[in-house]
Chain A
Amino acid sequence: MKYTTPAGDTVIDRQRVVGQPTTRIDGPLKVTGHAPYAYERHDVAANQAYGYIVPSAIAKGRVRSIDLAEAKAQPGVITILTTTEVDELPLGMGHTVPLFGGSEIRFYHQALALVVAETFEQARAAAKLVRVDYERTQGNHDFHALAPDAPLVEGSDGPDVSKVGDFEAAYASAPVSIDVTYETPHESHAMMEPHASIAAWEGEKLTLWTSNQMIAWSKQAVAKMLDLDPANVRLDSPFLGGGFGAKLFVRVDAVVAALAAKKAGRPVKVMLDRPLVFNNTTHRSATIQRLRFGAERDGRLTAISHECTSGNLAGQEGENGIAQTRLLYAGANRYTAQRIARLDLPEANAMRAPGETAGLMALEGAMDELAEKLGMDPVELRIVNDTQVDPETPNRPYSSRMMVECLRRGAEAFGWDKRNKTPGGMREGRWLIGHGMAVGFRNSVQMKSAARVRLSSNGKLTVETDMTDIGTGSYTILAQTAAEMLGLPLEDVTVTLGDSDMPASCGSGGQWGAQNSTSGVYAACVKLREDIAGRFAMDPNTAEFIDGEIRAGAESRKLTEATASGEIVAEDSVEYDELSKKYQQSTFAGHFVEIAVDAYTGETYVRRMLAACAAGRILNPISARSQVIGAMTMGVGGALTEELAVDTRFGFFVNHDLAGYEVPVHADIPHQEVIFLDELDAIASPMKAKGVGELGLCGVGAAVANALYNATGVRVREYPLTLDKYLDKLPAV
């Protein structure tokens, strides 16, 4: 299906199943421990051996030699794969540096060897006896030292800066202006399931049972890295224990498992040790962001500038903190630019809502500061700067933009008008109470996505696609879509995901999964409906599929009549072309936070959180809400506690575990409220849905920071807002 014009009325609009709050169909498997994750697939290949990675103990340099004598002599050891026995692997999709091979060391905890043994304990013990002789070179590990001289990011012709109007002139003449600099730290995805893979060969054919968000991309990447025909590579990833971007691209577990399985002549399984999740895989780069606004006294922005510096290994791509600033608010004179420092740290790459997460932490903090300077309600400041078109390209309207409605609904439900407006002016016993808000913004992305549907002779339907469910609820929304299209009860639909032998979906990332993968299933179901209708000489466009029957006028036939002679299979995809060029497609939220700060100790407690979201049709309010509250939780971590601490001498993340890298825990998170606004966006997808998985994170950090300011009167511009940064500035008690 080529989606070139916005859909009119569709079967989905009935919303008998789609849009209904539906508990997850894979829920019973998950709560009983029966959902199989990558490392747990004992059944898929006999005789699995255990691999344990030997990571580099230096951040930059070269392997001079690796002494395996003692390790090899250990009981149970089958084989040892070393980095020096293979050439540097070519870069797979999304990689900044090679995952394995050769003698060059580019980051700490780079995999240098894999010890394969009969048991995990044997492999681990022997791995500690692998002796690596290093030649260490000095690296650049200190982002703050390099940032001042970081060059502009290069585009295809010259620096990739964006200019509209004359920022400098407008800024200089603006009656009200601010110039502030915010910082965000390096952050880690820290999903609960470490990267893991089981690899098995049958002749030239490789199968990887793995934990990966993007099956089709990753199949190509594995083929390229290992020089295989893609037809000989199969990935299977039916359940992932989270990803948040860390599993968008193949990581080293998969390639060393594959190489070692070949060498050992038997299947090999590898799970990254938790410290390697932090240091061997990817992270979100730290940023330093300077924002300058010029505004009229009524709050209208006349000049907007946002410059963002981040870091990465190869100096190619960093954290695009300016992305939302180019789109979110009106303003005639604009300037945005990115700088990137070349850092010898592990690879920086996409983490949940790359760009907007860090970008909004700065932008929406700066907006709060501007509101204060103007003496304006922060909500109203956003509203007067609303735009219904792409401000850099005004002939490009938003497909649908409900930012103002999100703010008004959210403010009302939160009781925003009752807040104390004087910073530091609200006390409840020992607690300073504050309220803050921010806008959430994240684009909705159109991606090709294919699916196959099979209607079997017993009238049950199977959906097959390589789509993944990383906790997002894909199983359930795809089943809902197919059930709606064919008029079947949800129980009659089975969904099979994550297998690269199935039609290639959009995969999970960038909050593009839900709307595109369901649209692919929608397209396949349209074909299936045509096939069925054709068998009864009915018009597929007017026939109704309901209660396991197809009806046209007075005639009604059971679907099982159509499948009497065997199952009916249909496959199709959704593809897009011009709509995203013509229309800006984005999702919006109003985030509201109440925080309590201990007036004596500075400890913070988030007491209330509310998000009002507009993201097109909400396919399943239960799982969509979970996406949003989960993202809000991650936002609290980003605001208050999360920070990868860098050892700038030796170039690694010191707090490479879940005790040192502090993600929110139960005690940190209050009851969270989510409001979804009614919105159908037919431009965004045939399902009239947009993404929602990342929206909940975008803006939350700033809402927390703004609440902390409101509570204490202390403006902290350096995330995370740990109490060492404000304790001595708290109001006198």
Chain B
Amino acid sequence: MDQPDYFSVSRRGVLASGAAGLAAGSISPQVAFAASTPAAERAITMQTVSMRINGKAQTLELDTRTTLLDALREHVKLTGTKKGCDHGQCGACTVIVNGERINSCLSLAVMHEGDEVTTIEGLGTPENLHPMQAAFVKHDGYQCGYCTPGQICSAVSVLKEIADGVPSHVSAELTGPMEASNIEMRERMSGNICRCGAYSNIAEAMAEVAGERA
């Protein structure tokens, strides 16, 4: 059976074409093949990516395999965003990209050229808490605190999704205005696991913020 073309391209070929063949010239093979182990070595690809993180322009030179989560935690050293599972199952890594929440562990950093990224550090500071952060403190919406940045980024986004009329699995209607009811919020927050079990308190924190907004 004939293989599609891309299978026949050698790694060396990809690398050779990389710098010249791909746009913007932002890819550069960092490590050359060593002559003695041509079959063994697998080169890595570096790429430059620019994004705004918490309002600040950042240009990063990254291994293309770097997730947005690891770019934030290991390169920008914004460690507020947490790694709970590294495969999209816990929500600890939730950040807000261009106004929408995503699991940053499921997204490669280089996919975010030009994006606006907001992390927990960008929402507020210990001295000047975001209303949702303050509500989490007031209602004890956490225990160990490890899921908390993700919960808060999700909570802020959930209230926005409800305000924007985005329906969920439990919404009675797919169109029309949504209400920030207890079950609406709980449904939408269910991608953010809290093993400490602060759910009941998180719901109260969110209800307070939702009420203040309304």
Contact = CB atoms under 8 A, between A and B. Distances in A.
A657 B89 CA distance: 8
B145 A630 contact: no
Given A242-B196, A633-B197, A120 B70 contact: yes
Interface string B113-155: 0000001110111110100011011101011111111001000
Contact of B192 (A69, A121, A666, A670): A666
Interface residues of B, number: 74
B174 interface: no
Nearest to A71: B40
A179 interface: no
Given A657-B85, A666-B203, A35 B145 contact: yes
Nearest to A128: B42
A37 B203 CA distance: 25
Nearest to B201: A626
Given A32-B126, A125-B42, A625-B140, A273 B86 contact: yes
A191 B203 contact: no
Nearest to A620: B140
A603 interface: no
Given A28-B137, A273-B86, A471 B40 contact: no
B133 A32 contact: yes
Contacts of A666: 185-187, 189-190, 192, 194, 199, 202-203
B12 interface: no
B79 A671 contact: no
B148 A31 contact: yes
Interface stretch (A72-80, A379-387, A560-568): A72-80
A240 B92 CA distance: 14
B195 A242 contact: yes
A190 B147 CA distance: 12
Interface in A327-382: none
A575 B18 CA distance: 68
Interface in B174-207: 182-183, 185-187, 189-204
A614 to B, nearest CB: 21
Contacts of B8: none
Contacts of B194: 192, 666
Contacts of A658: 84-85, 89-90, 193
B61 to A, nearest CB: 12
A664 B199 contact: yes
A664 B197 contact: yes
A244 interface: yes
Interface string A91-123: 000000000000000000000000000011110
B73 interface: yes
Contacts of B195: 189-192, 242, 244, 634, 663
Contact of A33 (B74, B149, B182): B149
Interface string A119-133: 111100100010000
B31 interface: yes
Given A75-B30, A125-B65, A622 B44 contact: no
Contact of B136 (A27, A471, A632): A27
Interface residues of A, number: 72
B199 A32 contact: no
Nearest to B124: A32
Contacts of B11: none
Contact of B148 (A30, A194, A626, A627): A30
A154 interface: no
Interface string A479-514: 000000000000000000000000000000000000
A266 interface: no
Contacts of B187: 666-667
A33 B197 contact: no
A471 B141 CA distance: 11
B128 to A, nearest CB: 9
B146 A667 contact: no
B77 interface: yes
B43 interface: yes
Nearest to A26: B145
Contacts of B84: 192-194, 241, 274, 658
Nearest to A673: B200
A629 interface: yes
A27 B44 contact: no
B48 interface: no
Nearest to B138: A23
A667 B136 contact: no
B93 to A, nearest CB: 11
B44 A241 contact: no
A337 to B, nearest CB: 33
A669 B185 CA distance: 12
Given A75-B30, A76-B44, A121-B66, A192 B92 contact: yes
Contact of A630 (B70, B146, B198): B198
Interface of B: 30-31, 34, 37, 40-44, 63, 65-66, 70, 73-74, 77-87, 89-90, 92, 119-121, 123-127, 129, 133-134, 136-138, 140, 142-149, 152, 182-183, 185-187, 189-204
Given A32-B125, A76-B31, A666-B187, 7 more contacts: A32-B129, A33-B78, A34-B125, A76-B44, A191-B146, A243-B144, A665-B190
The 7 residue pairs across chains A and B that have the minimum distance between CB atoms = A33-B80, A241-B146, A633-B197, A471-B143, A471-B144, A30-B145, A630-B197
20 contacts: A27-B136, A28-B137, A33-B120, A73-B34, A73-B41, A74-B40, A75-B30, A75-B44, A120-B74, A121-B65, A191-B196, A192-B84, A241-B82, A241-B145, A242-B143, A470-B144, A471-B144, A631-B197, A658-B85, A670-B200
